[in-house]
Every structure is written in C-alpha cells, then in structure tokens.
Structure 1
Amino acid sequence: MPRVRRCRQPGCHLMVKLPDHYCAKHYEHEAEYLASRQKWTRSGDQATMHKYNTVTRYRTYDKQEQYQFYRGKQWQSLRQLALDRDHYICQYCGRSNSNTVDHIVPIEYDQQGMADVNNLATICRSCHYAKTQWEQSYYGTGQGNQRQDVQPIRSVDKIVPFLGRQRKR
C-alpha cells in the first residue's frame, strides 16, 4: 500500500501519494511549495551561516564578547541566582514559570552591568519582546540603531509603564 498524506491546500481533505504535497485539483501550487522549501534548505549552508555570524551576530568586538559571556559558566550561575531570587516569576507582569533572565539595563548600552546580578530580572517571553522593542527606541540598541545619550533606568518598576503591562501582585 502506498504512503499517503493529506493535501496541503487549506480546507482540502483529499489524500495524495507521497512524495506529492497537493492533490490533482490543487497541483498548480506544488512547484511554488517546492521552490519555497528549496530556499530554506539552501539557507543552512556554510556561506550563509558564516555571513550571519560575521555580519549580524558578531558585528562588532563587543557583540563577540557578549556572545562568549552568554556561553560561559559565569552567566549560567548568575542566571540561576536571578531565577532563584525571583522564584521564576516575571518581574514585569507577574506571570509564573518564566525562565528567561534579562539585563534591566542592556549590556549593549552599559557594559559595566554585564555580570551584576542586581541588573538581572526574570522575564516572560511576551514582556521580553516588548522590552526589547522599548530598549531599541529608548537606548538605541540593536543593529542599525543610533545609541542614545539617555539616563539608564535601573528599576523594573519604572520600566513597566513603558511596556504597557500591568503587574499581577
């Protein structure tokens, strides 16, 4: 018996024989789907990865230093200290079971707070995303942004209103 799968067209429940992805009715989408798959399989080659690492991830000496810091034992122990201190609760919204630790003042802006446990806070994913967006506009962090000359905010309580979050406490 041949192996089959469901047609990839939304709402179509016909079964097609492998290796096809679409039924006879929707077969015109097959070439487009295969082309998109090829695009992503090619993106994993060494040249693409090298470009990503040298241009995006490690674009400056500071970014290389940060990457090495996050891979080290010192970061792992600091991270665990912050998680234990905060009891795995997001300090920005109060959500439990948060296991991400973030620098309150980003190290891209202030290198001095890189290994300071008082500059760390447990944060959930949605708050981390919102805080990163806010940091890029306030501090000017991130690729392509111009660093701003502003006073660093070192308190989670003062950052929360900028994120549009309300704490559950």
Structure 2
Amino acid sequence: MPKTRRCHYPNCHKIVKQPDHYCQLHYEHEAEYLAKRQRWARSHDKQYVHHYNTVTRNRTNDKRMQYNFYRTKQWSRLRRIVLERDHYLCAYCQVQGKLTPARTVDHIVPIEFSPNDKANVSNLAIICGSCHRLKTDWEQSYYGTGQGKRVQHVHAIHDVQAIVVLMNGEN
C-alpha cells in the first residue's frame, strides 16, 4: 500500500499519495511549494550550518574551549545538580517574586570573565528565556563579554538579587 498524506492546501483534508503534496483540486500549488522548499534547503544546507558552528561561532580558541565545556560529562553532572537544587525554577524571577519554570543553567559570573568559576556550583543558577536575554545584554555591557568584545576590568557580581536590579535598569 503506498504512503499517503493530507493535502497541504489550508482546510483541504483529501488524502494524496506521496510524493505529491496537493490533491488534484489544488495541484497547481505543487510547483510553487516545491520551489519554496528548494529555496529553503539551499539556505539551510549542511555547509552553512557547518560554517556557522566551526568558524563564525567559534572564532577564537577561548570561545571554542568555552563551548566545548558544555559538551562534557562534568557540565552534565553540574547542570543536573543545579536543576535539582533549585527545583527547575528561575532564580532571577524568584528574586522578583515570580515562579517561572526553566531548564537553562547559567553562570552567574560569565566564563569569559572568570574561567576558574566555570565548574563552581555556587556560580550556577537556573534562568528562564526572558531573563537570559536581559542578563546576556547586561553582561555584554558590564563585563564586555560576547563575540569580538574585550573583557573589561570590573568587579564580579555574585549576588543574583543585585544582578536583577542592574539588568532591569532599576536604581
């Protein structure tokens, strides 16, 4: 029996045989759909992804070593410990009186600024997506972290509550 799928036309539920994507009634959209898929595939080919991961993302050896740390067993173990310790709740939201579930473990003081604290459990906290974006922007301006930036000589801030105040721009 041949494989089948539903017609890709909105609200059309007719069954078509693969490799077609549209039924006989909407078949004129097939060529446009295939062209769109080819354009997408060309812009998302393996060479592009490989170039991004090996050249653009890891421009320096420091960055390469930093990203490689997140692929180690040590990081997996540390991450699990912190997630269980903080009950999968964003530490930065908790300071603001909110309970937000999260699964991302973040370094309170970035690795680029303090490489010796990368495996220190007390330097790790759970963070949600919105807080992570705010904190990353704040880190880049305060510590000078990020691609192509110079790390500044400032005092490290280890207190989550102080970071929340600073990253939200409160006085």
Smaller-chain TM-score bracket: 0.7 to 0.9
Task: Provide the C-alpha distance between the structure 2 equivalents of 1:134 and 1:127, rounded to a whole number of angstroms.
Answer: 10
Task: Provide the C-alpha distance between the structure 1 equivalents of 2:8 and 2:130, rounded to a whole number of angstroms.
Answer: 34
Q: Given residue 68 of structure 2, which amino acid in structure 1 is its aligned partner? A: Q
Tell me: CA distance 1:154–1:15, structure 2 relative to 1, closer, same or farther (3 Å).
Answer: same
Post-superposition Cα deviations, 1:80-101, rounded to whole Å, max 9, x if no partner, equal 2212221222110023432211
The residue correspondences of 1:15-164 to structure 2 (distance < 5 A) are: 19=20, 31=32, 34-42=34-42, 43-45=44-46, 47-94=47-94, 95-164=99-168
Gaps of 5+ in 2: none
Task: Provide the C-alpha distance between the structure 2 equivalents of 1:72 and 1:20, rounded to a whole number of angstroms.
Answer: 43
Contact 1:92/1:165, CA 8 A, preserved across alignment: no
Task: Provide the C-alpha distance between the structure 2 equivalents of 1:92 and 1:70, rounded to a whole number of angstroms.
Answer: 22
Tell me: CA distance 1:6–1:37, structure 2 relative to 1, closer, same or farther (3 Å).
Answer: closer
Q: CA deviation at 1:165?
A: 9.3
Q: CA deviation at 1:14?
A: 6.1
Q: CA deviation at 1:149?
A: 2.8
Q: What TM-score, normalized to structure 1?
A: 0.74
RMSD: 3.1
Q: What secondary structure is seen at the aligned counterpart in 1 of 2:149?
A: coil
Identity in percent? 48
Task: Provide the C-alpha distance between the structure 2 equivalents of 1:34 and 1:144, rounded to a whole number of angstroms.
Answer: 39
Contact 2:5/2:21, CA 8 A, preserved across alignment: no
Q: CA deviation at 1:120?
A: 0.4
Contact 1:101/1:120, CA 8 A, preserved across alignment: yes
Q: Given residue 163 of structure 2, which amino acid in structure 1 is its aligned partner? A: I
Q: What TM-score, normalized to structure 2?
A: 0.73
Task: Provide the C-alpha distance between the structure 2 equivalents of 1:14 and 1:77, rounded to a whole number of angstroms.
Answer: 49
Q: What secondary structure is seen at the aligned counterpart in 1 of 2:125?
A: strand
Q: Given residue 60 of structure 1, which amino acid in structure 2 is its aligned partner? A: T
